[in-house]
Chain A
Amino acid sequence: MMLARVADSLYWLGRYIERAEHLSRLSTVMLNATLDQTDTGAEAVRIALSAVGETELSAGAFEAAKGLVLDRSDANSVVSSLSRARENARQVRDQITTETWERLNLLYLKVIDRNAGRDFADNSVTFLHDIIADVHLFKGAADTTMSHGESWRFMMVGMYLERAQLIASLLEACFAEGAPKVNDHLALVSLLRMGCALEPYLRVYTAEIEPRHILEFMVFDEDFPRSIRFATSQIEKHLSELARHVEATGRAAPERLAGRLKARLEFADVGELESQGAGELLTTVANECARIHQAIYETFVAYPLEMRLPA
């Protein structure tokens, strides 16, 4: 049992944390790729920016990365995501452990520091590396100090739902119909890096880096924590646990929606993806995630009171 408002905040806390990590990684990869004197750099910038929905490639890589990370007027930037994560954490300060809170607060103080812009300019790669490492510390603190009950599960649902959507749009930027084909080896490596997938991918497919395998790995791999299938099965698992406590389940029980998506990913095959293109499946993932989000609200947060008043 927990307050509906609190569940909402924890869910968003998870989402914002995941978003901050993902954006930091996109920026790092983008900046690294542009260090080499090749055309790959431009390709990496295009992938990263179109993955976050930006179509204009006006500024240089550095300016673009700085915007993704430190632009406070952009609601989706790393600094905005961390501020919102922290604001949600403050709302539920009584639900998360001191260890977890301190990791997040420290990170927040770092990115809103008046010197953050200068630190980023001085050494952006280190700056971003530290943010990602701090996010990992936050997740580790949450995992090892919070009770794995309702609070933690709402945070996990938010985190994995955000992850599934972010990976889906990253892949859409490369494999959707109409997206420019990515064949360059280094650009594909950048793509894997943006999904934090390079090393795990190499262990499965070796250094033969092919678009088909990348799709297979990042959509269907059972064990890779950033594959859409893995994220979906986590969403389903946590939602099923959460649903056990709700006596009046709504029409669109979120755990059923998640289960359906999970089954779809389990039984899909790569051959099909090849012949029909990945676009349709990735769109389905995005739509289903949006429906799950909606169903979570209807079931746990914004349910009509009449249904729940004592008789």
Chain B
Amino acid sequence: MAAKIQDIDDTPSLPMTGAAYLPGVAYDEMIAQGGDVRAHYAALQSRISTLGASELADRQRMLERSFLLQGITFTVYGADSATERIIPTDLFPRILPAQEWAKIEAGLTQRLQALNMFLADIYGEQQILMDGVVPRELVLGAPSYRREMQNLYVPHKAYANVCGSDLIRGQDGEFAVLEDNLRVPSGVSYMLANRDASKRTFPGAYREAGVRPVERYPDLLLATLKSMSADWRPNPQVVVLTPGVYNSAYYEHAYLARLMGVPLVEGRDLVVHDNMVYMRTTTGLRRVDVIYRRVDDDFIDPLTFRRDSSLGAAGLFNAYRAGNVVMCNAPGTGVADDKAVYAFVPDIIRYYLGEDAILPNIETFLCREPAQLSHVLDNLDKLVVKAVGASGGYGMLVGPHASAKERSEFADALKADPANYIAQPTIQLSTAPCLVDGRIEPRHVDLRPFILSGEKTVVTPGALTRVALKRGSLVVNSSQGGGSKDTWVLAEENGHNGNGHAEKGVAS
């Protein structure tokens, strides 16, 4: 087939055969062990193999151009000026078959349900601490624990209304949860933008695969936010609170506000008077009922939290306490995604729901435990060590890829403040085909699906797949040079719209 293409097209083709695309030891999303294309990738694979290198490069350029034009960018501050760049985006979607997704969906729903019960408990009776399931000092001593939230009523006990959990697929092909993001997770706009792009890039393969839509996310988000408002306010005014244009996720904030049809406010637009929150409009002050805040806890209210913050509004927290406004996510949810608490999530699920976790955790060593610390120190070259409170790929050591000097520096930091660190085995994240420098190559990926939780809990059938674009790199964070790609969740097995040809696409 490859030769045939070459006759038509002068440029070398990029056949997606086992010979040209060589997955490494990790689980590959497209090619099974033995070199066969997995059934759910068949439609896409056959489409790609008819396209030459220049055609693919053109489509990639078109995709990047479209992101630049739409302003889907983040700001890089250089020596003399700030420039905007797009987040590297790969044109090949990552595909998940229906039954795999069903398990992910069930697992995430279960997990968020348990985490919300956990939050309600630790900000209430603290039964789980009294029963000794999670160490008291781990929770109450966590920097993200907010004493101010104690005994505060939260509708539906939904503390984390928007959650983005990071899943990875290990060498055995099973998904596991790497971390939960319950504070102000971002990336959902990339999920939606990537989808628009891949519909344009591979319309035929998209239609043939039978992909579940993600477009409903904004209206489901709005419904979730509205469900959090006091029911005596019939038509609640929802707003999105952003730190402003200089925030790296500003594009997303504006995007969600626009698609929900609600105002995008900054702290300086808000006024708190008599424990009510208002926004300054052209026609005077207007009451605000629900704030989807994309500002961290520390910055929402200078009277309650950081005094030097101008991103929130003075008095906001008191208005929240008084029940006159709702903040989503609730302040203090970060305590449930603390990397040390993470180790206890399977126990938390068992404690509240009496079930085993559907999605397993990654084995985690708590450095606060002396025995585990010494194990970690002995095996630094095999482990990934992370600071408990940090996120975005900062404060982290990837043992196998670090130099001896970096490891010994990290060891000192560990010994100085062991409670601040956890360690996990280095996992070979699964790989997916990506277009890199004109070649199709396997790159490590993770998966961030988005879960909404208010009156109901919903998982959007799609996700942001993050890609480590550097060869061999396992770090997918966009702040660390990672990129992203679209994720297709198939409606039915093998990706055919139930037309009875399911087996046809299987290359074997």
Q: Which residues of A contact B (CB under 8 A)?
A: 1-7, 87, 90-91, 93-95, 98, 101-102, 105-106, 109, 150, 154, 242, 245-248, 300-301, 303, 305, 308-310
**Contact of B68 with A5 in the complex, beta carbons under 8 Å:** no
For residue B371, CB closer than 8 A to chain A, the reply is no
**Taking the nearest CB of chain A, how far is it from the CB of B197, in angstroms?**
14
**Taking the nearest CB of chain B, how far is it from the CB of A151, in angstroms?**
10
**Contact of A105 with B71 in the complex, beta carbons under 8 Å:** yes
For residue B295, CB closer than 8 A to chain A, the reply is no
Q: Which residues of B contact A (CB under 8 A)?
A: 68-71, 245, 250-251, 254-255, 257-258, 263-266, 268-269, 271, 273, 276, 279-286
Main secondary structure of the interface of B (DSSP, over half): mixed
Please, which residues of chain A bring their CB within 8 A of the CB of B257? 94
**Taking the nearest CB of chain B, how far is it from the CB of A136, in angstroms?**
18
Q: List 30 A-B contacts (CB under 8 A).
A: A1-B286, A3-B263, A3-B265, A4-B282, A5-B269, A6-B263, A7-B282, A90-B71, A90-B245, A90-B250, A93-B71, A93-B251, A93-B255, A94-B263, A102-B70, A105-B70, A109-B69, A154-B282, A245-B282, A246-B283, A246-B284, A247-B284, A301-B282, A303-B284, A305-B280, A308-B284, A308-B285, A309-B273, A310-B273, A310-B285
Please, which residues of chain B bring their CB within 8 A of the CB of A101? 70-71
Decide: A246 near B282, CB < 8 A? Known: A3-B265, A94-B258, A305-B271. Answer: yes
Please, how many angstroms separate the alpha-carbon atoms of A243 and B285 in the complex? 15
**Taking the nearest CB of chain B, how far is it from the CB of A3, in angstroms?**
5
Determine the residue in chain A with the shortest Cβ distance to B254. A93
Please, how many angstroms separate the alpha-carbon atoms of A309 and B277 in the complex? 11
Determine the residue in chain A with the shortest Cβ distance to B250. A90
15 more A-B contacts (CB under 8 A) besides A93-B264, A248-B284, A305-B280?
A3-B279, A4-B280, A5-B266, A5-B268, A5-B280, A6-B263, A94-B257, A94-B264, A98-B70, A101-B70, A101-B71, A105-B69, A242-B282, A246-B283, A309-B273
Decide: A109 near B284, CB < 8 A? Known: A94-B257, A94-B258. Answer: no
- Kindly name the residue among B70, B263, B279, B280 whose own CB sees the greatest number of chain A CB atoms within 10 A: B280
**Residue in A91, A242, A247 whose beta carbon sits within 8 Å of that of B245 in the complex:** A91
Please, which residues of chain B bring their CB within 8 A of the CB of A106? 69
**Taking the nearest CB of chain A, how far is it from the CB of B285, in angstroms?**
5
Please, how many angstroms separate the alpha-carbon atoms of A1 and B237 in the complex? 12
**Contact of A3 with B281 in the complex, beta carbons under 8 Å:** yes
**Taking the nearest CB of chain A, how far is it from the CB of B67, in angstroms?**
11
Determine the residue in chain B with the shortest Cβ distance to A301. B282
Please, how many angstroms separate the alpha-carbon atoms of A93 and B251 in the complex? 8
Please, which residues of chain A bring their CB within 8 A of the CB of B255? 93-94
Please, how many angstroms separate the alpha-carbon atoms of A163 and B269 in the complex? 29
- Kindly name the residue among B257, B279, B281, B286 whose own CB sees the greatest number of chain A CB atoms within 10 A: B281
Question: Would you list the 7 A-B pairs with minimal beta carbon distance, nearest first?
Answer: A93-B254, A94-B258, A94-B257, A308-B284, A300-B282, A4-B280, A245-B283
Please, how many angstroms separate the alpha-carbon atoms of A130 and B283 in the complex? 39
Please, which residues of chain B bring their CB within 8 A of the CB of A150? 282
Determine the residue in chain A with the shortest Cβ distance to B259. A94
**Taking the nearest CB of chain A, how far is it from the CB of B287, in angstroms?**
8
Determine the residue in chain A with the shortest Cβ distance to B239. A3
Please, how many angstroms separate the alpha-carbon atoms of A123 and B46 in the complex? 46
Determine the residue in chain A with the shortest Cβ distance to B253. A94
**Taking the nearest CB of chain A, how far is it from the CB of B508, in angstroms?**
44
Please, which residues of chain A bring their CB within 8 A of the CB of B276? 310
Please, how many angstroms separate the alpha-carbon atoms of A32 and B459 in the complex? 61
Decide: A87 near B245, CB < 8 A? Known: A305-B271, A310-B285. Answer: yes
Please, which residues of chain A bring their CB within 8 A of the CB of B265? 3
Please, which residues of chain B bring their CB within 8 A of the CB of A102? 69-70
Determine the residue in chain B with the shortest Cβ distance to A8. B282
Please, how many angstroms separate the alpha-carbon atoms of A95 and B240 in the complex? 13
Please, which residues of chain B bring their CB within 8 A of the CB of A4? 269, 280-282
Decide: A109 near B68, CB < 8 A? Known: A3-B281, A5-B266, A150-B282. Answer: yes
Please, which residues of chain B bring their CB within 8 A of the CB of A246? 282-284
